[in-house]
Amino acid sequence: MIITEISQAYGDMSGDKTTRRRVYDVLNVFLASGIITKENKTIKYNPPPIPEASKKVSEQDQELLSVNSQKRQQILNKIRLYLTYRSLLERNRGIVKPESAVNLPVILVGFNTAINEVSKSNDNEHTLEIRAAENPTFFSPNDVFKTMVFPEEFQKEVLREMPMFGKLEGDVFAKSE
């Protein structure tokens, strides 16, 4: 069929054998390279398999997307902490500070059971020894911040003041937490 079309196009029959030979040469090259297969007089195209390097790139892409998602969550959590901190500062501006107030940074310690013994070190008044039946749970200021609830509108205003993070407002205040 190919040879007939070429012959009709050029009209010169002297190159018929040469053309036929070239077509068979090309078919043999395709057969040898595995691009086509020949069964009787039927020729089938075999698409090349996806190389392993491409699969590795795909796996690396998935890995990078996962890392990117984790980093995004970390940034959103830090923005939420910052907004809570700013809200706390704003709330505390109008409050008179009592003399016995505890200043940050502070570490809060929680015990599930009763404390057996509490003693202060004589040589250092900053050392406190506590003996209890179970290990304590430590809470950082960030843990305390996460439990506080402040007006969302104020936090949105603070976020909008920061052009770099203003576009993340929808993600920061998403209700899917």
pLDDT at 177: 44
Neighbours of 155 (CB within 10 A): 21
Question: What is Dmax (Cα atoms) for the chain?
Answer: 114
Give pLDDT, residue 3. 63
pLDDT of residue 176: 46
- What's the chain's length in residues? 177
Closest CA to 172 of 57, 158, 126, 137: 158
Mean pLDDT in each 10-residue stretch from start to end of the chain (177 residues)? 66 70 88 88 82 77 92 89 84 78 71 68 69 78 78 84 80 69
User: What is the predicted pLDDT for the residue at 64?
Assistant: 92
CATH, domain 52-172, list 3.10.129.10, 1.20.140.80, 3.30.70.580, 1.10.10.10 = 1.20.140.80
Element (H, E) at 120: strand 115-120
- What is the per-residue pLDDT for 71? 94
* pTM as predicted: 0.48
The SS3 assignment for 160 reads: helix
All structural domains of the chain with their residue ranges: 2-45, 52-172
- Tokens representing residue 116 in the block: 């057996």
